[in-house]
Amino acid sequence: MENGAPAWKFRGDEGLFAASDITVRSILYQLMANLDAGDGRAMVPLGHGPAAEDAVVDALRSAKFNCYGPTVGILPARRAIADYLSRDLPYKLSPDDVHLTVGCTQAIEAILTVLARPGANILLPRPGYPYYDARAKHSHLETRSFDLLPDKGWEVDLKGVEDLADESTVAVVINNPGNPYGNVYSYQHLKKVAETARKLGIMVIADEVYGHLAFGDTPFVPMGVFGSIAPVLTLGSISKRWIAPGWRLGWLVTNDPNGFLKDTGAADICSGKIQEIPCITCPKKPGGGMSVMVKLNLSSLEGIKDDMEFCIKLAKEESVIVLPGIGFGMKNWLRVTFAVEPFSLQDGLGRIKAFYERHAKR
């Protein structure tokens, strides 16, 4: 001990360092660092979510909200959200049913903190959104992963959920439309999830961060519809509902008076183009959300050992960012975001094809 001073009594938690290593953002920054500054072409971001600015600027300029607000959110905002969500439910939500947070990230933080009593565990989907794992560790809440079934449209392995649950299980998380896999669950399947939760006596945390984001004739059923079977807590994110100016990909447009979705065929472009690239396969065409999971066939490639290496080389050689499956608990898969202009999507997938052709096993 230097100068006889006592040792520091605080220190970082090793487990947490490891958990926070794998987040969407950390992997994204790692890939961006590999971009080739000398590549004259524009980078195609097939790894990110969208950005928004106009609505924020309008709210600031209106000078109506320059005040200290209540912790749970201002009443007009909570009322608007309650009314909006009630359109799809068999009952009416009140503003008191709504708790506003700083993004879905803070909502996850709040609910996991509340649920984390000593010895408790929570069931998480695999593939899934990685923040749940990191945040649960932070609260000493044990996590157990159940599989989503790629061959069944990424449905929940309900038997797996039942096998994992025990007396200390408090909740099961589902994500619909799904990030990273872009699937939209049927009414029947969601009902079965609620019935399973009822049987186990646990809560359903429905991460419906994209809300209504279903394409074409895929019907979106909110999990809240099944609130009479089991308690359902729905998390949503405004950030993924706003869109960049001029963008028309099937997102909920906030200034659209009917709140209708516009489907410009991003999902079709994605599944069509992916079929032309032999090293990746898509088990199911996305029905909503903003991304799709594709399986990487490493045996068709020369000198690429895993999904991370594929993504790093792709960033370097083609200035295209896609995320490796390891970030979502699925080694040797890739997550491709289609939340970009159709032109960029075509361009990006075309570059992945060129990348494949250069690295294909002869």
> Interface residues with ligand PLP (CB under 6 A)?
103-105, 129, 175, 179, 207, 209, 237, 239-240
209-212 contact pairs (CB < 8 A, 24+): 209/104, 209/175, 209/179, 209/235, 209/236, 209/237, 209/240, 210/177, 210/179, 210/237, 210/240, 210/241, 210/288, 210/289, 210/290, 211/236, 211/241, 211/252, 212/252, 212/259, 212/261
Give Cα 18 distance to the centre of its chain: 20
Least Å distance, CB 278 to ligand PLP, is 29
Nearer to ligand PLP by Cβ, of 127 and 355: the residue is 127
Least Å distance, CB 47 to ligand PLP, is 13
Least Å distance, CB 289 to ligand PLP, is 8
Least Å distance, CB 296 to ligand PLP, is 21
Nearer to ligand PLP by Cβ, of 279 and 294: the residue is 294
Nearer to ligand PLP by Cβ, of 218 and 237: the residue is 237
Nearer to ligand PLP by Cβ, of 145 and 346: the residue is 145
**Residue number with the smallest Cβ distance to ligand PLP:** 103
Closest CA to 112 of 129, 130, 137: 137
Nearer to ligand PLP by Cβ, of 150 and 277: the residue is 150
Nearer to ligand PLP by Cβ, of 121 and 234: the residue is 234
Least Å distance, CB 333 to ligand PLP, is 16
331-334 contact pairs (CB < 8 A, 24+): 331/306, 331/307, 332/295, 332/296, 332/298, 332/306, 332/307, 333/127, 333/293, 333/294, 333/295, 333/296, 333/307, 334/280, 334/293, 334/294, 334/296, 334/307, 334/310
Least Å distance, CB 209 to ligand PLP, is 4
